[in-house]
Amino acid sequence: MSHKKHNLCINAEKVFDWVIRPVDIQTKTFCGEELEELFGESRDLLEDGLCDFLEENPGITTECKVLEQCLEAKEIIQPNGRQKIEVTLPSGEEVKLHKVKILVSGKVKVFIFDGKQCVSESRVIDFCTTQTFFLCAPKGTCVYARVLEGECDAELICCNDTAHLNIDIDFCLDVHATDFVKLEIEGAYCKPRNEFPISDIVVCRPEKSPPQCPLIFPGKNCK
């Protein structure tokens, strides 16, 4: 069955550029009064100092958790717009791209475990970073960014009788530039399909008798 073709104009979202970058953030090291303030609610833990506590409890481990609901990634709007930059591609070809800055912010918490028991948890720790991208993002396009697979690692150590907490945060930053464009395509009008004859009512069928074996039972010579 043939369908008459028509020229159609549709509004579609076009991706101008798209990159995913691994990002590693090492936050500042907490020690001394800052570390005590970080675990300020754990008075018993800090009474004799964290180093003494770690020495007396060799099974102590730390765990860091990213608060995913607090993750945010957005473009930093530049006063004069996105700056054009001439970039040489690996092939040697020169192209003009746009300088895009992305601000990523979030929060993490650190937990201290003695075996499987959580003995202390930190207050919420803020982190942020700016990342610069060179994208095909001309005026009129929108740049979207999101954080993928965020995770963090915390290490509590003692050095020169002073406790130090180091936090590393790793994630993938997904950035793409898009805009809606008008497209003219050739197409045909379609009609809804016919539904299949499917019923949700239980169909009752008579039970079939099993096949007989008259050659062996009761047999031709049986009386």
Is 221 contained in some domain? Answer: no
Q: Which two tokens stand for residue 36?
A: 């005590």
Cβ–Cβ < 8 Å for 38, 167? no
Is 39 contained in some domain? Answer: yes
Q: How confident is the model at residue 42 (pLDDT cuts 50, 70, 90)?
A: low
The domain total for the chain is: 1
Structural domain containing residue 121: 5-183
Half-sphere exposure of 135 (CA within 13 A, CB side): 28
Cβ–Cβ < 8 Å for 146, 102? no
pLDDT of residue 1: 47
Tens digits of residue pLDDT in 113-123? 888 888 888 99
pLDDT of residue 5: 81
203 or 8: which leads in pLDDT: 8
Please tell me the least confidently modeled range out of 44-48, 51-55, 122-126, 208-212.
44-48
Q: Which two tokens stand for residue 88?
A: 């040489």
Is 22 contained in some domain? Answer: yes
**Model confidence, pTM:** 0.73
Is 209 contained in some domain? Answer: no
- Mean pLDDT for 3-20 is 88
Cβ–Cβ < 8 Å for 112, 121? yes
Helix/strand number for the chain, H first, E second: 3, 10
Nearest to 27 by CA among 103, 110, 128, 123: 128
The mean predicted confidence, pLDDT, of the chain is 85
pLDDT of residue 209: 72
- Mean pLDDT for 53-76 is 88
